[in-house]
């Protein structure tokens, strides 16, 4: 829009500036034309007057000027088409080419004009004035005799007729408006196409930049016929993408190494827990074992029972880590969330678990086993959260909202403290005395791998709501 408006204002500004400069130049040329024309007229009239002064039989003195030019002044006026007025040296009227001079001609030159004439180096000055809306010039100069002695003052009133000039200016301005109107239309089209081309490239760059993510492969920008400045931005972005991919690969590698180190530490820690009682049990059994003891069979069974329990614990630990580490199987199918959720809840015997749905069939695209795993983990957490509540309640809802399938698991348990809300989805975080804190981390992993989202809302002492959202499948 700035480019578009700038070009329009540029053309309009140029047209206005040219019109102003043209009018000014026309006025200046007109004024110069009238000044030069008056100079030429004055020279011609002066030559005619000097010729008459040389030819006259009257004595060439001031008081004889009206006699010398009694009729001749009208001939000079007709020849030069210019009014002529003669004054004595004090500025009093002597002779005028106008018939009714006493009505139309000043009978005396103003005193300040006579002083200006006397002070002028070339004994001449031009007076400009305006009368009845018409511009005038009047030149004042001395008439001299053959010995260059001043005889009288000659005044030549000159009308500045600018009618022809004004007509030319008006015609020029009309043509200027027509030409610039066409230019404005052309500039509107050109600025629109130019700004559209520039903004199209910038819009493409903006969309690419907005979609840039560290956790996915980002495509480079390819724009044909991009301007030099835009091409620089595109090259910088494409270079940044290369660097980003290298950084992402290095970061992913470091994160994998860190995750495996943490996993190894956790596995080692969890396995050591059952190994210690197994060692102590073996040492105790070795010290106290007596084949002749009548209770040897009972002691052997207790020993075996203890060892089996610890082995089961180790097996459970191995299974939990295996389940967490295993990526969700991508055997997606169209599932009816209502039906599969009810099926997953059938394994729970708690009668305070309630299920409701807004529709009989809510379809999503995902793995059946993974969905059951999500429901059972969230329901199990809810059951454990309400175990100390005298009136436990767990509500499981499935409904549709904003073209998404929603699963909500609501409990009235102990709630989650604010300090723990950001940690509940982290591996190995747990507030329970047993367990390894992998259940919610596994759920989050499954949900995000299927382009879904999971969130929680919890108030300590009032309960917790987990919300899982998946896009609805539309065949």
CATH number at residue 26: 3.30.450.20
Q: In this predicted model, which residue has the larger pLDDT, 438 or 369? A: 369
Residue 99 has pLDDT above 70, yes or no: no
Average pLDDT of span 247-262 = 67
In a domain, 195, yes or no: no
pLDDT greater than 50 at residue 101: no
Q: Could you tell me the CA-to-CA distances from 386 to 242, 323, 383, 407, 463 in Å, in that order?
A: 51, 26, 5, 19, 8
The answer on 129 and 36 residing in a single domain is: yes
> Is 441 within a domain?
yes
Domain assignment of residue 58, yes or no: yes
Q: Residue 150 domain-assigned?
A: yes
Handedness of CA 386, 387, 392, 396 (dihedral sign): positive
Please check whether residue 192 lies inside any domain of the structure.
no
Exposed/middle/buried for residue 107 (C-beta within 10 Å: 0-12, 13-18, 19+):
exposed
Residues 6+ apart with CB under 8 A from 144: 150, 151
378 and 290 inside one domain: no
Residues 8 and 157 reside in one and the same domain: yes
Residues 341 and 430 in one domain: yes
The answer to whether residues 370 and 455 belong to one domain is yes
Distance of CA 261 to the CA centre of its chain: 47
* 186: in domain: no
pLDDT digits (tens, 9 = 90+) for 223-247: 666 666 667 777 777 788 777 777 7
Q: Which of 123-137, 211-225, 274-288, 383-397 has the lowest mean pLDDT?
A: 211-225
Out of 28-32, 43-47, 361-365, least confident range: 28-32
> Of 166, 181, 207, which residue is a domain's last?
166
> Looking at the whole model, is its pTM more than 0.75?
no
Q: Could you list the residue range(s) of the whole structural domain that residue 255 is in? A: 228-325
**Are 309 and 337 members of one domain?**
no
Residues 368 and 393 in one domain: yes
**Same domain as 398, residue 318:** no
Domain count, the chain: 3
Query: Is there a single domain that holds both residue 271 and residue 411?
Result: no
Last residue of a domain, one of 325, 349, 383: 325
What CATH code is carried by the domain that includes residue 400? 3.30.565.10
Q: In this structure, are 427 and 380 located in the same domain?
A: yes
If asked whether residues 317 and 389 sit together in one domain, one would say no
48 in any annotated domain: yes
pLDDT of 214? 59
Predicted confidence (pLDDT) at residue 378 exceeds the cutoff of 80: yes
Domain boundary among 166, 184, 199: 166
Q: What's the average model confidence in pLDDT over 182-205?
A: 77
């Amino acid at each position: 829009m700035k480019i578009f408006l700038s070009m329009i204002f540029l053309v309009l500004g140029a047209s206005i500036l040219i019109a102003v400069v043209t009018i000014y130049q026309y006025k200046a040329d007109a004024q110069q034309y009238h000044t030069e024309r008056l100079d030429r007229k004055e020279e011609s009239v002066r030559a005619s007057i000097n010729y008459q002064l040389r030819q006259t039989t009257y004595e060439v003195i001031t008081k004889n000027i009206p006699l010398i030019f009694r009729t001749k002044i009208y001939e000079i006026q007709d020849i030069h088409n210019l009014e002529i007025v003669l004054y004595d040296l004090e500025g009093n009227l002597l002779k005028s080419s106008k018939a009714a001079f006493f009505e139309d001609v000043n009978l005396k030159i103003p005193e300040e004009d006579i002083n200006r004439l006397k002070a002028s180096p070339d004994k001449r000055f031009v007076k400009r004035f305006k009368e009845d809306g018409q511009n005038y010039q009047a030149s004042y100069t001395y008439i001299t005799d053959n010995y260059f002695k001043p005889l009288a003052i000659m005044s030549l009133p000159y009308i500045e007729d600018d009618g022809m000039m004004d007509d030319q200016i008006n015609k020029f301005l009309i043509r200027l408006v027509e030409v610039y109107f066409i230019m404005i239309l052309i500039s509107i089209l050109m600025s629109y196409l130019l700004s559209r081309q520039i903004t199209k490239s910038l819009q493409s760059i903006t969309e690419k930049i907005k979609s840039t993510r560290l956790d996915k492969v980002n495509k480079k920008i390819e724009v044909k016929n991009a301007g030099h400045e835009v091409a620089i931005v595109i090259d910088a972005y494409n270079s940044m993408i290369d660097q980003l991919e290298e950084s992402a690969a290095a970061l992913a590698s470091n994160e994998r190494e860190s995750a495996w180190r943490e996993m190894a530490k956790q596995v080692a820690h969890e396995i050591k827990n059952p190994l210690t009682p197994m060692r102590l049990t073996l040492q105790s059994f070795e010290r106290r074992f007596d084949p002749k003891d009548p209770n040897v069979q009972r002691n052997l069974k207790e020993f075996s029972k203890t060892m089996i329990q610890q082995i089961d614990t180790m097996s459970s630990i191995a299974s939990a880590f295996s389940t967490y580490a295993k990526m969700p199987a991508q055997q997606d199918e169209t599932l009816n969330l209502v039906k599969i959720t009810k099926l997953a809840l059938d394994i729970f015997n708690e009668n305070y678990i309630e299920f409701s749905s807004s529709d009989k069939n809510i379809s999503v695209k995902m793995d059946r086993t993974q969905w059951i795993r999500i429901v059972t983990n969230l329901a199990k957490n809810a059951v454990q959260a309400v175990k100390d509540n005298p009136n436990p309640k767990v509500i499981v809802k499935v409904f549709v909202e904003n073209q998404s399938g929603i699963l909500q698991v609501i409990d009235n348990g102990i709630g989650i403290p604010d300090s723990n809300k950001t940690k509940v989805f982290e591996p190995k975080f747990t507030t329970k005395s047993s367990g390894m804190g992998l259940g919610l981390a596994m759920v989050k992993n499954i949900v995000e791998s299927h382009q879904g989202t999971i969130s929680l809302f919890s108030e300590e002492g009032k309960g917790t709501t987990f919300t899982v959202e998946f896009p609805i499948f539309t065949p």
